[in-house]
Structure 1
């Protein structure tokens, strides 16, 4: 096979991607990210409006997202506004693309090996 084997993402990138995927692996956190993507910077009161979730529960979920680098907060008077930070999602996407290239390479090698036997 003439194509070079794709590079493996660095361990640090994979660890960061794993943190992002773990944070997004919860339906509530996914809903919060979707709300922040659609609504821009929102307060906890806005994020809990029309929901059965308490402010404390939303705050805990936002803290998990913040630790993963997916959201950040800022003060606006007495409120904290939360907003989505796309950088970590983009980095995780690049890691998935690199892994996908590795799979494509491995499958192409397997195909060549199987075809060579027949």
Structure 2
């Protein structure tokens, strides 16, 4: 399950605006390969909407079937807002209407690091 947590207004190249819905997965506990400590995170992505701002505002908190998947993409630079550090990422997150099987993250030794597992997407 995912939750619509917010919406944003975006501008097209022709100057017209449209709304995107911010979709958030549930909390996940990930173990840092660097420190071995666990940290809480959630995947986040944005999907375009045909709704006006009033409808998008009313959708906040709505839960939907589906999941947010990590997808490889062309490398891009991302600035961590809190520290100003620039990192190179080669993935983005996107919504999938299908539920993704999530094995227990707490007992899993996945290839994640505390740096570079930031939830972001390039529009």
- Structure with greater strand share of residues: 2
Q: Which has the higher contact order (CA 8 A, sep 6+)?
A: 1
> TM class by shorter-chain length?
under 0.3
In the superposition, the TM-score normalised over structure 1's length comes to 0.18
In the superposition, the TM-score normalised over structure 2's length comes to 0.17
- Structure with greater helix share of residues: 1
Structure with larger Rg: 1
